[in-house]
Structure 1
Amino acid sequence: MSEDQNRRRGPVLIELDAPEKPTTGTGPRHESRGDGPNPADAPPIDEASLTLPRPRTMEMVTRLVGRPPSALTRFFINSGVALFTFLLSIAALDFINRLLDSYPVLGWIGIALFAMFTLAALGMAWREYRAWARFARIDAIQRQAGAALADDSMDKARQATDQLLALYRKRPELEWNLKRLAEARGDVFDARSLLTLAETELLAALDQEARREIEAASRTVAAATALIPLALADVAAALAANLRMIRRMAEIYGGRAGAVGGWRLARTVMTHLVATGAVAAGDDLIHTVAGGGVLAKLSRRFGEGVVNGALTARVGIAAMEVCRPLPFMAQPRPKVGNLVTRGLRGLFGSDAPDR
């Protein structure tokens, strides 16, 4: 009996099932301790998206340069230029004839000036033809080098190297490099190695000069966008800076660009930019664009200038790929972030040497 009484006097534990609490919201149900609200059931907080500045200046420049005219527009321009030239020539000849009848000496002076103008026009046309002939040579070297790399053909690589030596034979700053390439090319028996040797000896120094031109153009466009308050003045400054940069790319790598040729080369660069998909923001551009978005919180114009400078650097890299006789193999391809960083650093007076 004593043992039964002790068992009855002991504590008794009765387990009761806790009532289920209704869940609210669409999120998953989480177990909570106590009766307080569970932080896991709280709705997510929308993060404030970073507003990136829109590169309106470079968008306008790309639209002006990259958009080809329609067939009707070309017909209108060509017929207008032909009509104006015809009417101007008839008026000039009629004026010279009347001048010969009235004042023979002045008439002969007019004939001499008209002949000089005609010779000057023919000379400019010849210069434009020679400029595009040099571009045709560079394009032929590019195709020959690409075929040599694709087929691993030593003969095609030698032909591309010979054409490259002929292209830079009259460049005094490359005289020592030309001699080194001529001496070392006999010891190479592989197509890629021969083209890599030619790229290292001849194009490495030209690449550094091209990088400095791109940095200067990016700095100019960024400063023009940030400091010029007028609506179309920054577009004109950016257009002039990009055209000058593209012309300098051609001159650095052995080409020539005249008045008409420079505009056609700019259109070729823009077409290459679109065809290769380089317009989209890649890894080398996204950090610069994000940096422009941060700076836009301090100054909208300065943030837009940084993004415009980055797009100018992208145009410069495309111009390098178009004007460069060989593709990038041993030499590193320039990156937008590095070019813009060095360009903006030069804007504030720091001109550290290249490393």
Structure 2
Amino acid sequence: MTRRPRAFRLDAPDVASGSIEVVDEPFDAIEAADGVVVPMGEKRRAPWVGILVSALSGLLMLGLGLGIEKLIADLYVIAPWLGWVALGLTLLAALAFLAIVGREAAGIWREKKIERLREAALDALSVKDHQAAKTIVADLVALYDTRASAAQGRARLRNLDDEIIDADDRLAIAERELLSPLDAQAKRAIAAAAKQVSLVTAVSPRAIVDVAFVIFAAVRLLRTLARIYGGRPGLFGFLRLAKAAFNHLAVTGGMAVGDSLMQQVLGLGLAARISAKLGEGVLNGLMTARFGLAAIAVCRPLPFIREDTPRIGDVAGELVSRAEAAATPQG
């Protein structure tokens, strides 16, 4: 026997007591997931390079340990107090080594957490998974739990925990409350780095100085952007982020050919119309800005949902304006 439809009031006793529970229908997620291609993991070959590096590192550590042990024993023979000093220094070095390893591991773990948040957000948006969106927002609030500047945003998001909101709307609110101020900081950092690179390239006397400063500025910019978005990379974590940023550049195009501003620069031929050093400085500054935009893509814990994706014109438009002013003949 089928159950007839029935009307009820929200202030009725059975509703007020919580006997009726409102749950999210899974049909939206099922319909959105219909037809989505699930990528199959590629078969990986045996990591011989990793095995080689691990084996050589193990042999090096064994040799270093045996050398230290022999040194301490020889010092004990010469003078016992020298042996104790050597042993104390060895323990101090071991403690420092463990602290460095712990810091590196924590930095890599934090980077992987940010990557997992970004990938989970993409998956939740593709299938409109409401529960996954709530989990992602909770993890994002925990990621910035110690930042005083995000206190109001965290409070607003916690107040929305029990609200029935679409997955994309919930993530968009989290993006606006927590990441929008960080995006502004990141764009200011990229603009400052691009200006510095452009200025140093324009006034430096040698090409080696240009190359060295561009590398230095890129390293500093990547670390700055990682800290802005919550990462704390050590040496290996930084190398991992740098690899991801360069891979992103390779995918999106290193020269940003599709960007209207870069087309404008190349079309004007600024390097030919003004001094060669000034034109080189403008292009180096723009490439630094392009690298910064790629770094944002790999450091940001969420993809750009409702906020505008930053472009070169947002962070380095002043460089082109100055170059155009310099290239315009004065009447």
Q: TM-score, normalised by structure 1?
A: 0.71
Aligned length: 275
Q: Which of the numbers 115, 129, 139 marks the counterpart of 2:105?
A: 129
What is the deviation of 1:302? 1.4
| Residue type at the aligned position of 2:245 | V
Q: Which of the numbers 261, 282, 302 marks the counterpart of 2:237?
A: 261
Change (3 A) 1:280 1:120: same
Counterparts of 1:55-204 in structure 2 under 5 Å? 84-204=60-180
| Residue type at the aligned position of 2:264 | H
What is the deviation of 1:119? 1.2
Counterparts of 1:1-355 in structure 2 under 5 Å? 84-277=60-253, 279-282=255-258, 283-290=260-267, 293-342=269-318
CA offset digits 1:59-115 (Å, max 9, x no partner): xxxxxxxxxxxx898788666655554444333322221111112112211111111
| Partner Cα separation in structure 2 for residue 76 and residue 149 of structure 1 | 41
Q: Where do 5+ consecutive residues of structure 2 fail to align?
A: 1-46, 323-331
Q: TM-score, normalised by structure 2?
A: 0.76
Q: Where do 5+ consecutive residues of structure 1 fail to align?
A: 1-70, 347-355
Kept in 2, the 8 Å contact 1:206–1:252? The answer is yes
CA offset digits 1:184-227 (Å, max 9, x no partner): 45445211111110000000100011111111221222123222
Change (3 A) 1:289 1:218: farther
| Residue type at the aligned position of 1:204 | S
| Partner Cα separation in structure 2 for residue 236 and residue 78 of structure 1 | 31
Kept in 1, the 8 Å contact 2:282–2:319? The answer is no
State the structure with more CA Rg: 1
| Residue type at the aligned position of 2:71 | F
| Partner Cα separation in structure 2 for residue 314 and residue 183 of structure 1 | 38
| Residue type at the aligned position of 1:285 | M
CA offset digits 1:222-261 (Å, max 9, x no partner): 1232222223222121111111111111111111110121
| Partner Cα separation in structure 2 for residue 338 and residue 253 of structure 1 | 19
**Equivalent position SS for 1:327:** coil
**Equivalent position SS for 1:232:** helix
User: Whose relative contact order is higher, 1 or 2, with alpha carbons under 8 Å and at least 6 apart?
Assistant: 1
Percentage of matched positions with identical amino acids: 34
| Partner Cα separation in structure 2 for residue 174 and residue 115 of structure 1 | 41
| Residue type at the aligned position of 1:159 | T
